[in-house]
Amino acid sequence: MEWLDNFWATYSTLLLSVGTNVLLALSIYLTLACGLLTVANAAFMAIGAYTAALLTLQTGTPFLLALILGALLPALVAMLIGRPTLRLSGVYLAMATLAFGEVVRILILNAEDLTGGALGLNGIAQLTTGFDVAFALIGALYVLLRFAGSRIGRAMAAIRQDEIATELMGLNVRAYKLFAFVLGAALAGLAGALNAHFTFFISPNEYGFERAVEILAMGVLGGTGSPWGAVLGGVVITLLPELLRGFGHYRPLINGVVLIVIIIYSPQGIWDLTRFIRRRHSGKPAVN
Amino acid sequence: MLAQQFINAISLGGVYALFALGFTLIFGVLGIVNLAHGAVFMLGAYSALHAVILLRLPLMAAILAAIVTTGAAGWLLDKLIFAPLRARDAPHLAPMIATIGLAICLSSSVEGFFGAQNLRFPVEALPTETLSLGGIRITWLELQIVLLAFVLMGILMWCLKQTRIGRALRGLAESPKAAALLGIDVEGLFRFTSVLASLLGGVAGVLIALYTNAVFPLMGQPMLHKGIAVVILGGMGDIRGALLGGFFLGFAEVFSVAYIGSTMRDAVAFGLLFAILLLRPDGLFGKATQRRA
Amino acid sequence: MMLRLSSISKHFGGLQVLQEVSLTVPERGIVGLIGPNGAGKTTVFNLITGLLIPSEGTIDFLGQRLNGMASYQITRFGVARTFQNVRIFREMSVMENVLVAMGYQSNYSAASVLLPSPHLRRAQRREQEIARELLFKVGLADQADLLAGKLSYGAQRRMEIARALATGPKLLLLDEPAAGMNTVEKQQLMDEILKLHESRLSLLIIEHDMRFIMNLCKQIVVLNFGRLIAQGTPDEVRANPEVVAAYLGREDEPEIATVFMPS
């Protein structure tokens, strides 16, 4: 078992990042699956990270409780802004959530007494273990897979395809959207809380536009047809730069090219590519 | 003092408007949120800078060089990314994700070639004369920036209104299907739009580089945020709205720095944007939408 | 009366789409809604189902005021509809399309899907059975696992009816159900609709095919330019000079005019 210890010592941070990124990908999968283009997830992640980190740093709250509150507070915020915001659709929704994200980042930046402003929070205890992340991940994935295979997943897919027809099937479309948005916010907040407790340091700029776009890329690249798509997207986006380490300076360049190539050759996401293999193994005839 | 601020606001607003015009054109005609527009903007600044430093071209020729480079980039953007995605009937988010990849590619290649540090135009290449008009001081450089921005916008607006290609473009923005039925070369227009939008972004890049005298690989990021803000203000895909929104932001920035000067002003700005979106999704200057049935 | 529209008006900005339209559908009634293109027929459906809000007037259904109610609540009260241009969930199977429409009546909670249980499995299997029965009724049982987008146009229309029935309606609104069907298919559809009617369902039907509607409905309402111009039995409507004029004046639908000729 010694190699395992060595392996963990070398790659623990990377593996923990993969885990929290997959959580983030799952958080945006929820809204994308309803056809909602929201990019507030980086902001929810920030709220979760700061909530949990401040709790453990300044009040000595137990880690578990800090994690729970780190997921609850973003969910609460999502519930408040969701009602007016989710009336928008398409690009307008994306822009509104983007603007909301900037407001959150700038507020954190300016609340210096509480958050340390641009300097960020330093010396956050490294409490997150591999088990915590694995537990959160498996739990989230289990819940979303159960949903996806049930009437809830069906309703979400229906909303994505035709909102008005879904409403006329007697389904409360606004409630479903709000549910997806709030649950997504909770997952993003949890990811932020976990992430803050292994990176030692957080600052507002980690949760800006670039992070929001990265989370969106994980969701879309993976594909919105199944939670497994989000898992794939999260893993690929996190590991790709690591795998390209050998390319040195050209790493980001190749990273960008790979992103473009994947999207051009599989615009429905990577999960869509695996459909062919899945069909063959499940023995069902391909429906086309 | 007030007049001075006014001049500053107009020149900054002109550049914002140019940038936002390109962004809104691609959204209006191709239906794509082009997140690589900031990177193209940066490419324009680097092209002009190196045309001046390496080729020792005069400033105006360097701006031409930037137009050629970013125009070519726009051509490639459509040829290599947008067109294949159109051909595959990709979901509407796919092109946006591809432009994220492109933005990463562009900024990292530029960083690889020229380094991450802040570059400046050589002092001798910039005009230094200052004009004084009744207490207002304006440098030749500022004057040229304003004039160039306005001339370009004037040409663009005239072309959209008066020329055949301009009318075809506006038709395409309103209804791609109808445009195709009318025998308009839709594919050609998409390519043309991408070129036009990119070179507008490129020129904006040169002008900002001259204005702030700072050229660096990530200079497009804050500009992209501002572009998005402008386009929200003006209404997505609305050309006149992008112009008005650009100047609005220019004035808001200059005057809030001068008279409020608080670090909270960005929060206020984005909070306002958020509110505008909730109340008037079609922008401040757009028509209110009716609920569809 | 099951459904009562009382002096309903609707305008979009300055454009008057409906003016003071009153109509009723009796319990177990089968009412036809006809009129030239642009008369405002689909607008009536959109108002009843809450997609549009009336500018003036009231809509009552089984003693419930529907004005201002959300569409999904109206569906839950027992009003279901199909669409003039089919609105199906293309990327789902035919079966799943019908299951979506049964979603709100499930006798298992959203939380209970988290844990596999015998109760859940039974409830889900029961839903599938009901959906299959509905598909059998409209003749789509053997295509249940096909992607809905791959169905023929006529089959998509029939699937919409199955989906509407799955919401458990008391009143069914059909918007041009026979559009794009051939004579044989139309006859089958008519039989299906009559069967539905016999099973205690009330219907309000928009249709351009006059033979179809005259044979099917006991009561017909005629709209022209947003106004109600006639109301009565097929024979009364056929004899109404204003109706004949409304149709005869339209070169775009010459075949309809022949229906009004004395036979």
C72 and A147 within 8 Å at the Cβ level: the answer is no
Give me the residues paired with residue C227 across strands: C224
Name the token pair of A222: 């993976």
**Where in chain B are the domains?**
11-218
Question: B12: closest CA among B207, B156, B261, B272?
Answer: B207
Q: Please give the pLDDT value at position B234.
A: 83
Q: Residue C12: helix, strand or coil by DSSP?
A: strand
**Mean pLDDT, residues B149-156:** 88
CA distances from B3 to A130, B7, B136 (A): 61, 6, 7
| pLDDT class of B159 with cuts at 50, 70, 90 | confident
Segment B210-220 shows an average pLDDT of 89
A2: pLDDT strictly greater than 60: yes
The answer to whether residue B57 neighbours chain A at the CB level (below 8 Å) is: no
Map out the domains of chain A as residue ranges.
13-208
Supply angle C-alpha A225, A226, A232, rounded to 5. Answer: 105
Rounded to the nearest integer, the mean pLDDT of chain B is 84
Residue whose pair of structure tokens reads 């507030």 in the numeric block: A40
pLDDT at res. C253: 54
C170 touches chain A (CB under 8 A): no
User: Among candidates A66, A24, A68, A64, which has minimal Cα distance to A44?
Assistant: A24
Query: Residue B169: its pLDDT value, please?
Result: 83
Tokens 């740093």 identify what position?
A57
* Separate counts of helices (H) and strands (E) for chain B: 12, 2
The tokens of A253 are what?
């360049």
Distance CA B228, CA B237 (A): 11
* Partner A contacted by B228 (CB < 8 A): yes
Amino acid making up residue C116: P
- Residues from chain C contacting residue A168 (CB–CB below 8 Å): 49, 51, 71-72, 75, 80-81
| A chain contacts of residue C96, beta-carbon cutoff 8 Å | 154
For residue C169, report the phi and psi dihedrals to the nearest 5 degrees.
Answer: -80, 160
The CA distance from C80 to A168, in Å, is 7
H-helix segments, B115-185: 140-162, 164-174, 176-181
Most confident of A51-65, A236-250, B263-277: A51-65
Instruction: Please report, for residues A40, A80, B176, B188, the alpha-carbon distance to residue B184 in angstroms, rounded to integers and kept in the order given.
Output: 39, 47, 9, 9
The per-residue pLDDT for range B100-149, each reduced to its tens digit, is 889 988 988 898 888 888 888 887 777 777 877 777 777 888 888 888 88
* Whether pLDDT at C263 is above 60: no
Dump pLDDT digits (tens) for C186-209.
Answer: 998 999 999 999 988 999 999 988
Q: Which residue has the tokens 């309103």?
A: B174
Instruction: For residue B113, give both structure tokens.
Output: 């070639």
pLDDT for the residue C259: 54
Q: Parallel, antiparallel, or unpaired: how do β-strands C64-65 and C227-232 relate?
A: unpaired
pLDDT for B252 equals: 83
* Top-ranked range on mean pLDDT: pick from A14-28, A109-123, B154-168: A14-28
CB C50 within 8 A of CB C74: yes
How far is B90 from chain A, CA to nearest CA, in Å? 5
B76-106 pLDDT per residue, tens: 999 999 999 988 877 777 888 889 889 988 9
The first and second tokens of residue A177, run together, are: 């959207």
Reported confidence tier of residue B179, pLDDT bands at 50, 70, 90: confident
Q: Can you state the angle between helices A2-33 and A151-161, rounded to 10 degrees? A: 60
Contact B13, B249 (CB under 8 A): yes
Tell me the chain B residues in contact with residue C51 when contact means C-beta distances shorter than 8 Å: 293
Chain B CB within 8 Å of residue C46 CB: yes
pTM for this model (two decimals): 0.85
pLDDT at C245 over 90: no
C90 touches chain B (CB under 8 A): no
* Cβ neighbour number for residue A50 with a 10 Å cutoff: 27
Chains that touch A (3 or more CB pairs under 8 A): B, C
Supply the pLDDT for residue A285. Answer: 41
pLDDT computed for residue A267 by the predictor: 79
Does A279 reach chain C within 8 Å, measured CB to CB?
A: no
> Residue C115: what pLDDT?
87
pLDDT of residue B268: 67
Confidence tier at B292 by pLDDT (50, 70, 90): very low
In the block, residue with structure tokens 């039925």: B181
Distance from CA of B91 to the nearest CA of A (A): 7
Spatial CA neighbour of A237 closest among A257, A214, A260? A214
- Which residues, other chains included, contact C1 with Cβ-Cβ below 8 Å and sequence gap of 6+? C24, C25, C26, C27, C60
Residue C21 confidence class, pLDDT cut points 50, 70, 90: very high
Nearest to C70 by CA among A130, A172, B213: A172
**Contact criterion met (CB < 8 Å) for A264 and B281:** no
pLDDT of residue A96: 85
Instruction: Count CA atoms closer than 13 A to C83's CA, side-chain side.
Output: 18
Is a pLDDT exceeding 50 seen at residue A288? no
In this complex, is the C-beta atom of C110 within 8 Å of any C-beta atom belonging to chain A?
yes
In angstroms, the separation between the Cα of residue B291 and the nearest Cα of chain C is 8
A235 vs B128: CA distance, rounded Å:
53
Distance CA C31, CA C237 (A): 13
Asked if the C-beta of C117 comes within 8 angstroms of chain A's C-beta atoms, the answer is no
Question: Is residue C245 less than 8 Å (CB to CB) from chain B?
Answer: no
Return the amino acid letter for C260. Answer: F
C58-100 pLDDT per residue, tens:
999 999 999 989 999 999 999 999 999 899 999 899 999 999 9
In chain C, what is the straight-line distance between the N-terminal and C-terminal CA atoms, in Å?
Answer: 33
Q: What DSSP designation does C252 have?
A: T
Q: Among C49, C79, C81, C100, which would you mutate to test the A interface (most chain A Cβ atoms within 10 Å of its Cβ)?
A: C100
Q: Is B281 on the interface with A (CB under 8 A)?
A: yes
**Confidence at A252, pLDDT banded by 50, 70, 90:** confident
Number of domains in chain C: 1
| Average pLDDT of span A26-41 | 93
Q: Indicate if the pLDDT at residue A68 is higher than 80.
A: yes
B29, B193 Cβ separation under 8 angstroms: yes
Residue in B with minimal Cα distance to C51 = B293
Sorted by sequence, the CB contacts under 8 Å of residue A279 that are 6+ apart come out as A285, A286
- Answer whether residue C130 shows pLDDT above 70: yes
Residue A45: what pLDDT? 97
pLDDT number for residue B272: 73
Q: Which of the two residues, B230 and B268, has the higher pLDDT score?
A: B230
Q: What residues of chain B lie within 8 A of the CB of A96, using their CB?
A: 274, 277-278
- β-bridge pairing C79-81 and C171-175: parallel
Average pLDDT of C212-239? 91
**Angle at the Cα of B249 (from B36 to B215), degrees rounded to 5?**
45
Given the DSSP bridges, would you call strands C64-65 and B136-139 parallel, antiparallel or unpaired? Answer: unpaired
Of B88, B97, B278, the CB nearest to A96: B278
Distances (CA, A) of A62 to A19, A72, A114, A140, C133: 22, 15, 20, 22, 55
pLDDT value for B81: 93
Cβ of C100 within 8 Å of Cβ of A168? The answer is no
Which range among A222-236, C107-121, C167-181, C212-226 shows the weakest confidence by mean pLDDT?
A: C107-121
Beta bridge partners of A19: none
Residue C65 burial by CB count (10 A; 0-12/13-18/19+): exposed, middle or buried?
exposed
pLDDT tens digits along A78-87? 999 998 899 8
Contact C46 B290 (CB under 8 A): no
Phi, psi of C147 (to 5 degrees): -65, 135
* B293 in contact with C, Cβ within 8 Å: yes
pLDDT at residue B289 tops 50: no
Closest Cα in chain C, distance from residue A254 (Å): 34
Q: Which residues contact B224 (CB under 8 A, 6 or more apart)?
A: A209, B35, B37, B38, B41
Tokens of A251: 């790493």
Q: Compute the mean pLDDT over every residue in chain C, rounded to the nearest whole number.
A: 89
| Contact call for B293 and C12, based on CB within 8 A | no
Percent of chain B clearing pLDDT 70 (strictly above): 91
Nearest CA in chain B to C45: B293
Query: Using CA atoms, how far apart are residues A31 and A34, in angstroms rounded to an integer?
Result: 5
Give me chain A's average pLDDT, please: 88
Classify residue C115 as left (phi > 0), alpha (psi -120 to 50) or beta.
beta
3-state secondary structure of B92: coil
Local confidence band at A191 (pLDDT 50, 70, 90 cut-offs): very high
Which residue in chain B is spatially nearest to A264 when comparing CA positions?
A: B85
Question: Nearest-CA neighbor of A67 among A125, A112, A145?
Answer: A125
Closest CA to B216 of B139, B55, B108: B108
- Answer whether B90 touches A (CB < 8 Å): yes
- Over range B250-261, report the average pLDDT: 75
Cα torsion B81, B87, B93, B95 to 10°: value is 10
ipTM of the complex: 0.89
* Amino acid in the structure at residue C122: R
Is the pLDDT at C147 greater than 70? The verdict is yes
Does C72 contact A172 at a Cβ distance shorter than 8 Å?
yes
Handedness of CA A38, A89, C78, C133 (dihedral sign): negative
Task: Identify the three-state secondary structure at position B93.
Answer: coil
Residue C5 confidence (pLDDT): 95
- Is the pLDDT at A283 greater than 80, yes or no? no
Looking at residue C181, its amino acid is M
> Which band of pLDDT confidence, cut at 50, 70 and 90, is reported for residue C24?
very high
For residue B150, name the pLDDT band (cuts at 50, 70, 90).
confident
Most confident range (mean pLDDT) of A65-79, A233-247, B257-271 is: A65-79
If one compares B242 and A137, the residue with the highest pLDDT of the two is A137
DSSP A202: B
A228 compared with C106, residue with greater pLDDT:
A228
For the cut 60, the answer to whether the pLDDT of residue B262 exceeds it is no
CB within 8 A of C17, min separation 6: which ones?
C10, C11, C40, C43, C226
* Whether C96 and A154 lie within 8 Å, measured CB to CB: yes
Range of the domain at C121: 3-260
- Residue type present at position A164: I
B288 touches chain C (CB under 8 A): no
Alpha helices, H only, B26-58: 37-53
Higher pLDDT pick, A224 / B206? B206
Tokens of A114: 């509480």
Nearest-by-Cβ selection for C87 from A150, A165, A172:
A165
